[in-house]
Copies of this chain bind each other. A is one copy, B any other.
Protein backbone atom coordinates (compact mmCIF):
# COMPACT_ATOMS: atom_id res chain seq x y z
CA UNK A 1 0.00 0.00 0.00
CA UNK A 2 1.28 3.49 -0.72
CA UNK A 3 2.00 5.24 2.54
CA UNK A 4 3.44 8.68 3.23
CA UNK A 5 4.15 10.58 6.41
CA UNK A 6 0.89 12.17 7.64
CA UNK A 7 0.06 15.75 6.69
CA UNK A 8 -2.88 17.80 7.92
CA UNK A 9 -4.17 18.41 4.39
CA UNK A 10 -4.33 14.72 3.43
CA UNK A 11 -7.73 13.12 2.86
CA UNK A 12 -6.64 10.17 4.97
CA UNK A 13 -5.21 9.58 8.42
CA UNK A 14 -3.70 6.54 10.17
CA UNK A 15 -4.72 4.39 13.10
CA UNK A 16 -1.56 2.96 14.71
CA UNK A 17 -1.65 -0.20 16.82
CA UNK A 18 -3.96 -3.21 17.01
CA UNK A 19 -6.33 -1.81 19.66
CA UNK A 20 -6.98 1.38 17.73
CA UNK A 21 -7.31 -0.45 14.39
CA UNK A 22 -9.84 -2.89 15.90
CA UNK A 23 -11.95 0.04 17.11
CA UNK A 24 -12.17 1.39 13.56
CA UNK A 25 -12.86 -2.04 12.06
CA UNK A 26 -15.61 -2.72 14.61
CA UNK A 27 -17.21 0.71 14.68
CA UNK A 28 -16.51 2.29 11.30
CA UNK A 29 -15.43 -0.31 8.71
CA UNK A 30 -17.02 1.98 6.09
CA UNK A 31 -14.18 4.52 6.42
CA UNK A 32 -11.29 2.05 6.67
CA UNK A 33 -9.47 2.15 3.34
CA UNK A 34 -6.87 -0.50 4.07
CA UNK A 35 -5.03 -2.37 6.79
CA UNK A 36 -1.30 -3.10 6.94
CA UNK A 37 0.05 -5.90 9.10
CA UNK A 38 3.69 -6.10 10.17
CA UNK A 39 5.41 -9.36 9.10
CA UNK A 40 6.40 -9.93 12.77
CA UNK A 41 2.83 -9.59 14.13
CA UNK A 42 2.17 -12.80 16.04
CA UNK A 43 -1.25 -12.31 17.67
CA UNK A 44 -2.96 -14.92 15.49
CA UNK A 45 -6.42 -14.45 16.93
CA UNK A 46 -6.41 -10.71 16.30
CA UNK A 47 -4.95 -11.25 12.83
CA UNK A 48 -7.77 -13.67 12.03
CA UNK A 49 -10.38 -11.14 13.22
CA UNK A 50 -8.81 -8.39 11.13
CA UNK A 51 -8.78 -10.59 8.05
CA UNK A 52 -12.40 -11.63 8.54
CA UNK A 53 -13.74 -8.09 9.01
CA UNK A 54 -11.70 -6.86 6.05
CA UNK A 55 -12.96 -9.69 3.84
CA UNK A 56 -16.58 -9.00 4.84
CA UNK A 57 -16.19 -5.29 4.15
CA UNK A 58 -13.93 -5.57 1.09
CA UNK A 59 -11.08 -3.76 2.80
CA UNK A 60 -7.61 -4.26 1.35
CA UNK A 61 -5.08 -5.99 3.66
CA UNK A 62 -1.35 -6.21 3.07
CA UNK A 63 1.59 -7.57 5.03
CA UNK A 64 4.66 -5.35 4.77
CA UNK A 65 7.26 -3.70 6.95
CA UNK A 66 8.10 -0.42 5.22
CA UNK A 67 5.00 1.59 6.26
CA UNK A 68 5.92 1.02 9.91
CA UNK A 69 9.29 2.67 9.39
CA UNK A 70 7.57 5.69 7.85
CA UNK A 71 4.68 6.11 10.29
CA UNK A 72 5.71 4.65 13.61
CA UNK A 73 9.11 5.26 15.17
CA UNK A 74 9.43 4.07 18.69
CA UNK A 75 6.02 2.66 19.39
CA UNK A 76 5.09 -0.92 19.89
CA UNK A 77 2.95 -0.98 16.73
CA UNK A 78 2.27 -3.98 14.47
CA UNK A 79 -0.95 -2.96 12.69
CA UNK A 80 -1.84 0.20 10.80
CA UNK A 81 -5.19 1.17 9.29
CA UNK A 82 -5.58 3.81 6.60
CA UNK A 83 -8.68 5.83 7.47
CA UNK A 84 -10.71 8.14 5.24
CA UNK A 85 -11.23 11.38 7.14
CA UNK A 86 -14.88 12.21 7.56
CA UNK A 87 -16.19 15.50 8.91
CA UNK A 88 -19.07 15.34 11.39
CA UNK A 89 -21.94 17.60 12.36
CA UNK A 90 -22.74 17.88 16.06
CA UNK A 91 -26.04 16.54 17.37
CA UNK A 92 -28.21 18.36 19.90
CA UNK A 93 -27.55 17.35 23.53
CA UNK A 94 -24.50 17.36 25.77
CA UNK A 95 -21.27 18.77 24.38
CA UNK A 96 -17.63 19.33 25.17
CA UNK A 97 -16.37 22.60 23.68
CA UNK A 98 -12.60 23.00 23.38
CA UNK A 99 -11.36 26.50 22.66
CA UNK A 100 -7.97 26.41 20.87
CA UNK A 101 -6.66 23.08 22.16
CA UNK A 102 -3.03 22.73 21.06
CA UNK A 103 -1.82 19.25 21.99
CA UNK A 104 -2.66 16.18 19.90
CA UNK A 105 -2.27 13.67 22.71
CA UNK A 106 -4.43 15.72 25.08
CA UNK A 107 -7.21 15.92 22.50
CA UNK A 108 -7.14 12.15 22.07
CA UNK A 109 -7.26 11.58 25.84
CA UNK A 110 -10.28 13.90 26.05
CA UNK A 111 -12.04 11.94 23.27
CA UNK A 112 -11.48 8.72 25.22
CA UNK A 113 -12.96 10.16 28.45
CA UNK A 114 -15.78 11.81 26.56
CA UNK A 115 -16.86 8.56 24.90
CA UNK A 116 -16.44 6.89 28.29
CA UNK A 117 -18.90 9.26 29.95
CA UNK A 118 -21.33 9.08 27.04
CA UNK A 119 -20.71 12.54 25.62
CA UNK A 120 -20.31 11.93 21.90
CA UNK A 121 -20.17 15.50 20.60
CA UNK A 122 -17.03 17.63 20.71
CA UNK A 123 -16.89 21.16 19.33
CA UNK A 124 -13.46 22.60 18.61
CA UNK A 125 -12.93 26.32 18.20
CA UNK A 126 -10.00 27.03 15.85
CA UNK A 127 -7.09 27.68 15.69
CA UNK A 128 -6.55 24.24 17.14
CA UNK A 129 -4.61 21.03 16.79
CA UNK A 130 -5.75 18.74 13.94
CA UNK A 131 -8.33 16.29 15.36
CA UNK A 132 -7.32 13.72 12.73
CA UNK A 133 -3.64 13.72 13.72
CA UNK A 134 -2.50 10.09 14.14
CA UNK A 135 -1.21 11.06 17.63
CA UNK A 136 -4.75 12.13 18.55
CA UNK A 137 -6.26 8.96 17.10
CA UNK A 138 -3.77 6.85 19.06
CA UNK A 139 -4.16 8.69 22.37
CA UNK A 140 -7.94 8.30 22.00
CA UNK A 141 -7.44 4.49 21.88
CA UNK A 142 -9.81 4.56 18.89
CA UNK A 143 -12.54 6.63 20.59
CA UNK A 144 -11.98 8.97 17.62
CA UNK A 145 -13.94 6.40 15.56
CA UNK A 146 -17.05 6.96 17.69
CA UNK A 147 -17.19 10.64 18.69
CA UNK A 148 -18.42 13.47 16.48
CA UNK A 149 -15.98 16.37 16.18
CA UNK A 150 -16.96 19.62 14.47
CA UNK A 151 -14.69 22.61 13.97
CA UNK A 152 -15.97 26.17 14.43
CA UNK A 153 -14.12 29.28 13.38
CA UNK A 154 -15.35 31.33 16.32
CA UNK A 155 -17.12 30.55 19.60
CA UNK A 156 -19.95 32.80 18.38
CA UNK A 157 -20.58 30.40 15.49
CA UNK A 158 -21.00 27.58 17.99
CA UNK A 159 -23.19 29.74 20.23
CA UNK A 160 -25.46 30.67 17.36
CA UNK A 161 -26.29 27.01 16.67
CA UNK A 162 -26.42 25.74 20.25
CA UNK A 163 -27.44 28.84 22.21
CA UNK A 164 -30.13 26.86 24.06
CA UNK A 165 -27.54 24.68 25.78
CA UNK A 166 -26.44 25.44 29.36
CA UNK A 167 -22.95 26.90 29.04
CA UNK A 168 -20.33 26.05 31.71
CA UNK A 169 -16.97 27.70 30.99
CA UNK A 170 -14.18 26.20 33.13
CA UNK A 171 -11.95 28.95 34.50
CA UNK A 172 -9.47 29.19 37.38
CA UNK A 173 -11.52 32.07 38.81
CA UNK A 174 -14.98 30.75 37.86
CA UNK A 175 -17.67 32.05 40.23
CA UNK A 176 -19.11 28.60 41.19
CA UNK A 177 -17.19 25.57 42.35
CA UNK A 178 -17.54 22.30 40.46
CA UNK A 179 -17.80 20.48 43.76
CA UNK A 180 -21.04 22.27 44.67
CA UNK A 181 -22.69 23.15 41.35
CA UNK A 182 -25.17 20.73 39.80
CA UNK A 183 -24.81 20.63 36.01
CA UNK A 184 -28.07 20.82 34.02
CA UNK A 185 -28.73 18.52 31.07
CA UNK A 186 -28.00 19.77 27.57
CA UNK A 187 -24.75 21.13 28.85
CA UNK A 188 -21.76 22.58 27.06
CA UNK A 189 -18.60 22.07 29.13
CA UNK A 190 -16.24 24.70 27.74
CA UNK A 191 -12.46 24.46 28.29
CA UNK A 192 -9.62 26.65 27.04
CA UNK A 193 -6.11 26.22 25.74
CA UNK A 194 -3.47 24.24 27.72
CA UNK A 195 -1.26 27.25 28.45
CA UNK A 196 -3.66 30.18 28.49
CA UNK A 197 -7.08 28.82 29.55
CA UNK A 198 -10.24 30.58 28.38
CA UNK A 199 -10.22 34.28 27.46
CA UNK A 200 -11.67 36.58 30.15
CA UNK A 201 -14.87 37.27 28.24
CA UNK A 202 -16.09 33.78 29.18
CA UNK A 203 -16.69 35.15 32.70
CA UNK A 204 -19.90 36.56 31.20
CA UNK A 205 -21.06 33.43 29.42
CA UNK A 206 -23.35 30.95 31.17
CA UNK A 207 -22.16 29.72 34.59
CA UNK A 208 -18.36 29.87 34.94
CA UNK A 209 -17.02 26.98 37.03
CA UNK A 210 -13.79 26.46 38.90
CA UNK A 211 -12.60 23.02 39.92
CA UNK A 212 -11.42 23.75 43.44
CA UNK A 213 -7.96 22.61 44.35
CA UNK A 214 -5.19 23.75 46.67
CA UNK A 215 -3.05 26.75 45.74
CA UNK A 216 -0.01 24.46 45.56
CA UNK A 217 -0.55 24.06 41.81
CA UNK A 218 -1.42 26.70 39.22
CA UNK A 219 -3.92 24.53 37.38
CA UNK A 220 -4.84 20.96 36.54
CA UNK A 221 -3.69 19.41 33.27
CA UNK A 222 -6.30 20.01 30.51
CA UNK A 223 -7.51 16.42 29.92
CA UNK A 224 -7.73 15.97 33.71
CA UNK A 225 -9.88 19.08 34.15
CA UNK A 226 -12.07 18.10 31.17
CA UNK A 227 -12.51 14.55 32.48
CA UNK A 228 -13.40 15.64 36.01
CA UNK A 229 -15.95 18.01 34.47
CA UNK A 230 -17.48 15.16 32.43
CA UNK A 231 -17.43 12.79 35.39
CA UNK A 232 -19.25 15.32 37.54
CA UNK A 233 -21.72 16.35 34.82
CA UNK A 234 -22.79 12.74 34.25
CA UNK A 235 -22.49 11.33 37.80
CA UNK A 236 -26.25 11.16 38.32
CA UNK A 237 -26.55 8.73 35.41
CA UNK A 238 -24.68 6.22 37.53
CA UNK A 239 -26.22 6.63 40.98
Contact = CB atoms under 8 A, between A and B. Distances in A.
Interface of A: 109, 112-113, 115-118, 141, 143, 146, 177, 179-180, 211-214, 216-218, 220-221, 223-224, 227-228, 231-232, 235, 238-239
Given A228-B227, A239-B179, A214 B141 contact: no
Contact of A218 (B141, B177, B221, B238): B141
Copy number in the complex reads 2
Contacts of A117: 213-214
Contacts of A223: 221, 223-224
Contacts of A228: 227-228, 231
Contacts of A109: 221, 224
Given A221-B223, A228-B228, A146 B216 contact: yes
Nearest to A27: B216
27 contacts: A112-B217, A112-B220, A112-B224, A113-B221, A115-B216, A115-B217, A116-B213, A116-B214, A116-B217, A117-B213, A117-B214, A118-B213, A118-B214, A118-B216, A141-B217, A143-B216, A177-B238, A179-B235, A180-B239, A212-B238, A220-B227, A221-B223, A223-B223, A223-B224, A224-B227, A228-B231, A231-B231
Contacts of A238: 177, 179-180, 212
Count chain B CB atoms within 10 A of each CB in A113, A180, A211 and give the residue with the most. Answer: A113
Contacts of A213: 116-118
A66 B235 CA distance: 51
A95 to B, nearest CB: 16
